[in-house]
Amino acid sequence: MIRKLLLTVLSSTIIFAQSTVISNYENGLKCLAGKDTVNAIQLLKKDIEESERADSYYQLAMILQASKDYYIMNEAEDYYKKAIDKDPLNTKYRLDYGKYLEMIDVKVRDDMTARKRARDQYEKVIEISPSNSAAYFRMGRLEYNDYLDYHNSFQKETVASGDNYFITSPSARSKLKEQQCEVSQDAQLSFEKEAENSFGATEEYLRLAIKNDSSLYDAYTTLAGLYEDSGDYQKGIDVLKQLLRKKENDFSHHATLAFLYYRLNEPEQSYAAFQKTIALMTN
């Protein structure tokens, strides 16, 4: 009888503890929905103390990354890592962690590894879920940024020497100029090769994103932008035409189409697309 009573008390205690854990988590989400982040943080931290729930770590990371304070924003990374440690197959956690790292890559210029770490997360998502269009799109954007970096670096690199001003021999100056030219050509060839590789990777990832989710409209516009930047205006037009079959009343896409026709030296098609743009804007 006493044993049965003890078991009943113990069971009630466990149930009460479980309900308290759920309450902290659920109340934290309610506070978050009501934009009460102060109490949401406190409740989610309490839930972590009691349960180490993966989603509590994730929700805290999402709150902290939105802070304008760099040091608070920086804390989000630890929570993302812990959420992923608890639930390594959760693609949502990895995608948002990757987006966070992309943000760090832009805001914190001295973090030279953020872009690579974001890429690592997206690659893991693709490994877990091979048809994940969002991961392909994010990879495409990263490669596109790399392409622009290399593409915009087509400039001559010269070797400067502190003694240049003291070279008076014509033959010595001529030799130095030849060396500088050789280095410049090598650097440009390197940039061109890297840009070519990034272009191919961007194109592949964005087309995979579209293939796996034809309603991922940002993938179309990013791909069209890639073709525009590379000077392949016809391919950009073809991509925009695909998009307009799905979003025919978006004036911004018609405006971009008009611009690409103009760059392709097709004035009649450009004018028609501009007219369509104006008509949609005034409706």
* 122-154 pLDDT per residue, tens: 999 999 999 999 999 999 999 999 999 887 765
Query: Could you identify the residue written with the tokens 């466990």?
Result: 14
Sequence-distant (≥ 6) Cβ neighbours of residue 148 within 8 angstroms = 229
Nearest CA to 213 out of 110, 127, 92, 129 is that of 129
pLDDT tens column, 106-118: 888 777 899 999 9
Question: Cβ distance 253 to 269 under 8 Å?
Answer: no
Pick from 90-94, 190-194, 239-243: least confident: 190-194
pTM reported for the whole predicted model: 0.79
CA distances 191 to 146, 182, 188, 195, Å, are 11, 14, 5, 6
For 62-76, the pLDDT digits (tens) are 999 999 898 999 999
**Which candidate, 22, 33, 89, places its Cα nearest to that of 56?**
22
- C-alpha 74: how far from chain center: 17
- Integer Cα distance of 129 and 168 in angstroms: 65
Q: Which single residue is written with the structure tokens 């001295």?
A: 110
Half-sphere exposure of 67 (CA within 13 A, CB side): 17
Q: What pLDDT is attached to residue 184?
A: 55
169-222: pLDDT as tens digits: 556 555 555 555 554 555 566 668 888 899 999 999 999 999 999 999 999 999
Which residues have a Cβ under 8 Å from the Cβ of 182 and sit 6 or more positions away? none
Q: How far apart are CA 43 and CA 162, in angstroms?
A: 62
Task: Report the run of H or E that residue 76 belongs to, with start and end.
Answer: helix 70-86
Apex CA 202: angle with CA 200 and CA 207, to 5°? 100
**DSSP-derived 3-state class of residue 6:** helix
